[in-house]
Amino acid sequence: MNVKLCFYGALLLAVQPIAGCADDGGSNETAVDRNVGSDGETATADAADYDHMIVVFGDSLYAGYGLDQDEGFAPELQRALSDGGQSVRVVNAGVSGDTTAAGLQRLSFTLDGLDATPDLVIVGLGGNDMLRGISPEQTRANLQAILDELESRGIDAMLTGMLAAPNLGADYADQFNPIYTDLAAQYDVPLYPFFLDGVIQRPELMLPDGIHPTAEGIDVVVERIETMVEAEIAAP
């Protein structure tokens, strides 16, 4: 794990200026534009076409930054689940540049824009908070509010986590890194601890910016996370 974190920290140092200039994506208009399914249709597809709806709600790692429309996390997850016999639609609600605050701001708007209540919302936010040095207390509070909103609507949630770059210091890491495990335990939701695990330490699976996966990298993520998602939508 230390080797992974050191490599991760070096990559983050290199790309911090790029990430800091990313589109905040916090407006409702942007969220609607990005809220599409794996075949490019809007999220208002006929609910009769599938048995389960999954919303992937996150930042550029979810949005498919730098990839073709059919190569991002949402379409690849839908493809894998469908190949496994699941009747499922995965809606892409990832917005590049989103912080946890921006995600919280657009959550209700995104959910209200769907034609059906999702069976599962996978939440992957916090990386941009970390890159910008936002207080971990604020990150935790925003993620908690997101999970509270999902819980109040009776929607199952799942978290994918992020790790603090070592260059931010031990104090920051000690506050940031436990956020996801703490919230997963508090809300009794499944957690995939580090979205880029198995990918970021392999440069050939990363785009030239050093922080976003290639299409092949996304395939690795999906392969690792697919079983957890299947178990969650199969649960009574």
Active site residues: 60, 209, 212
Q: What does the radius of gyration of the chain's CA atoms come to, in whole angstroms?
A: 16
For residue 71, the Cα-to-chain-centroid distance in whole angstroms is 15
Burial class (CB in 10 A: 0-12, 13-18, 19+), 71: middle
C-alpha closest to that of 119 among 182, 56, 173: 56
Whats the size of the chain, residue-wise?
Answer: 236
Go through 209-229 and write b for each residue having 16 or more CB atoms within 10 A of its CB, e for each that does not. Answer: ebbbbbbebbbbbbeebbeeb
Q: HSE of 42 in the Cβ direction (CA atoms, 13 Å)?
A: 10
Distance CA 142, CA 170 (A): 22
Distance CA 101, CA 27 (A): 11
